Structure 1
Amino acid sequence: MKMQQKVVLSLGSNQGNRLENIEKCIQLIHKKIGLILRVSNLYETPSWGFDSDPFYNCALVLHTSFSAEKILQKTDSIEKELGRIRQNTENYQARIIDIDIIDINEETYSSETLTIPHQQMQNRLFVLLPMLDLKLEWQHPILNKSVQELIETCKDKSDCKMVSDLDFLLKKHSINQLNYIAIEGNIGAGKTTLATKIAEDFNAKTVLERFADNPFLPKFYKDQNRYAFPLEMSFLADRYQQLSDDLSQFDLFKDFVVADYHIFKSLIFAKVTLQEDEFRLYKTLFDIIYKEMQKPDLYLYLYQNTDRLLQNIKKRGRSYEQEIEADYLEKINYGYLDYIKSQTDLNVLVIDVSDFDFVENQEDYVKILDSIEEKIKNYSINS
């Protein structure tokens, strides 16, 4: 389930405080479009195609889940917010800010409003030099040339001077300092979506629960009393096996592990679904297993109210989930919250995402990342 697209943008400004315009633009891109992975150096370049004041130019690469047209809408909105006024003319103009979409996933795209890759990129040194700074393993999908090869054949010989680096504008994240993050939540809370998104943004290995492979799950939703115990036992065995295997296998190419569940969820669900005598037996087995499990450096619980959970469950359309009742979801929520209150040696962060849409609204995703950063900072200070 790949969610993120890798996008290259080119930024330019030749009116007002050029550096401030670039700085504000980068902040808005991070807030409204996607996570910025790298930023180029800042260059001063002569105006291209018309006579005007020199530009400040840079390039950046980011991750975003938005479509090409959605990205264009958002970049236009950012330009407008920063004060750019577009004139009804085809001639080049001076501008407070200019954002060009250069590339998306090294793929081609064409519509009435947008062409990817940017049709003029190979002719513009002020695009190619900053893009080279990004150190991308990139090849033009039509010309089949790298950035360096495009620079060597570019006819634009403008004097593009490097002014400064822009590393200070790149938001630093501490999440890579962790070894293991467990993201938990009720059915339909969005834990798998968030785990996948974080993993793609921060180069993490994912451990995603294999609920779809459990043969007892559809039967359980139809007859809970009959299939509760075999369901919970099979889940416990599968979770133990998966977490034990994945957490013990170090991946040289990934920075940390992010899972969309924690082994303790087995006990929470079992307490809701099992009869009292069944639960006593189950807990005896669980306690033996739990002692052997690695504990996460951060336990993130996504809380959503029951109405929102039911909406999400209906929206994703899994047939065997459609008969889940509100009362069952509320019991699960209470089970999680009781568990969290009892944990004194676990680094727990609870975020109410009832009003969040961290896929369609980048600002909601940024709020979650900021909360994680604050939690890591405070935990480090108090440890």
Structure 2
Amino acid sequence: MVKPTTYHIALGSNKGDKFKNLQHAVDAIHERIGNIKLISKVYKSPALGFDTEVSAEDFLNCCLVLESYLEPQEVLEALLDIETALGRIRTNKNTYEARTIDLDIVFAEAKIINTKTLKVPHPEMSKRKFVLLPLNDIASKVKHPKFDKKVSVLLEECDDDSVLEPIKIWLKNPSKQCDVSKYNYIAIEGNIGAGKTSLATKIAHDFNAKLILERFADNPFLPKFYEDANRYAFTLEMSFLADRYQQISEDLSQLDLFKDFIVSDYDIFKSLIFSKITLNEDEFNLYRKLFYLMYKDLRKPDLYVYLYQSTTQLQENIKKRGRDYEQNIDDDYLEKINAGYLEFLKTQKDFNVKIIDVSDRDFVENRADYLWVLGEVFGE
């Protein structure tokens, strides 16, 4: 999965309800662009560069750290759209004007961009204390890719003698609104191609969780099973059971003091669901005995999330990810797996289960869909 880019964004407002303008901008950035990791203090700063004949109110300024899968030009376009939505009107005048909101990309990691519409790092940032001071709150050790100097050094060297005053109200970070503290271990499950690995990976990254991913790609019997299911079904299911038991036992027992919780893209109970479909009756009865001997000693998830996808959407996802051995999976097989999961979940009285229909949601490419899924996972 592609890693997001880390951006540093400067925000300012000197018109209307300035603090509310900043909060609305933060909320819109979260909804449209990406995950907000940190927000600086808000500072009151004098309006610089305005026509002396024009009386300009002081600014409120802050900076934030943003992670986004969008490219820099896409981030710029989204920021401009947010400015417009919040009431900013740009004119062709060559003077500074009061604005409800001003949003600028300061850094895009170590990228150096020089186009007609976008220049990164921001060419004026090293001269502006109202950018450097809040930026220093959240990125003091980040280096300017052109000057090779840390933000803290740029602040010390800045000639701007403006006096900035921190206000005593903090902006709320909408990325922190999901209450993940009630769960220590979440299992994300679903059919083949449902997106469980993608969702578990995104949640782990955004919410500082330890990620456990099933090592299915290492199983040498999987391609053989898709070629000759009758011959390799029992061998495949036994190898999966052994691998899943070993992996989940080891990973759940290894504490990580720097992570807030655990999220996995499977639960070992899937072994019983798949084996009931693939094995004959005698093989399944033997397999079930072995399964429960192993399963009774394992830690159970605090939340079991099942991603439901329609068969049509599953097939599209499978084709899109392009694994050769999966390309000829029958609809009937996928439907049996869905039915097996749903039957299992209905009978689990001790499980905290959430079934989420994501058939019409693309939570990998569409941030609004991803935020909707988070609301379903972590909401009441």
TM interval, shorter chain, is over 0.9
The CA deviation string for residues 138-158 of structure 1, in whole angstroms up to 9 with x for no partner, is 222222222211110112121
Could you say which residue in structure 1 is the equivalent of 2:205?
200
Could you say which residue in structure 1 is the equivalent of 2:186?
181
The CA deviation string for residues 119-162 of structure 1, in whole angstroms up to 9 with x for no partner, is 22211111111112225642222222222111101121212221
Could you say which residue in structure 1 is the equivalent of 2:374?
369
CA contact (8 A) 1:4 1:200 kept: no
CA contact (8 A) 1:30 1:36 kept: yes
Could you say which residue in structure 2 is the equivalent of 1:4?
4
1:252 and 1:107 map into 2 onto residues whose CA distance is: 33
The CA deviation string for residues 258-297 of structure 1, in whole angstroms up to 9 with x for no partner, is 1110000111111111111111111111111110111011
One-letter identity of the residue aligned with 1:25: A
Residue in structure 2 matching 1:80, options 78, 84, 87: 84
Q: Name whichever of 210-219 and 5-14 sits farther off.
A: 5-14
Residue in structure 1 matching 2:214, options 209, 220, 236: 209
Q: Name whichever of 319-328 and 138-147 sits farther off.
A: 138-147
CA contact (8 A) 1:43 1:164 kept: no
The CA deviation string for residues 26-55 of structure 1, in whole angstroms up to 9 with x for no partner, is 111111111222211111112233333321
Pair 1:128-2:115 in alignment: no
1:307 and 1:86 map into 2 onto residues whose CA distance is: 46
Aligned pairs for 1:136-285 (under 5 A) are: 137-170=141-174, 171-285=176-290
The CA deviation string for residues 334-380 of structure 1, in whole angstroms up to 9 with x for no partner, is 111111111111111111111111222211111122223323xxxxx
Q: How far is 1:91 from its partner?
A: 4.4
- Between the two proteins, the alignment pairs up a number of residues equal to 375
2:337 and 2:39 map into 1 onto residues whose CA distance is: 43
1:166 and 1:251 map into 2 onto residues whose CA distance is: 30
Q: Name whichever of 270-279 and 111-120 sits farther off.
A: 111-120
In angstroms, what is the RMSD of aligned CA positions? 1.8
Q: How far is 1:206 from its partner?
A: 0.9
The CA deviation string for residues 313-348 of structure 1, in whole angstroms up to 9 with x for no partner, is 111111111101111111111111111111111111
One-letter identity of the residue aligned with 1:308: Q
Pair 1:70-2:74 in alignment: yes
CA contact (8 A) 2:13 2:61 kept: yes
> Unaligned stretches of 5+ in structure 1?
376-383
Pair 1:55-2:59 in alignment: yes
Q: Structure 1 vs Structure 2: percent identity of aligned residues?
A: 54
Residue in structure 2 matching 1:344, options 325, 349, 354: 349
2:141 and 2:205 map into 1 onto residues whose CA distance is: 17
Distance 1:114 1:267, change over 3 A: same
One-letter identity of the residue aligned with 2:101: I
Q: How far is 1:169 from its partner?
A: 4.9
1:44 and 1:276 map into 2 onto residues whose CA distance is: 73
Distance 1:251 1:22, change over 3 A: same
One-letter identity of the residue aligned with 1:202: F
Could you say which residue in structure 2 is the equivalent of 1:378?
none
TM-score by length of 2: 0.93
> Unaligned stretches of 5+ in structure 2?
none
TM-score by length of 1: 0.93
Q: Name whichever of 175-184 and 203-212 sits farther off.
A: 175-184
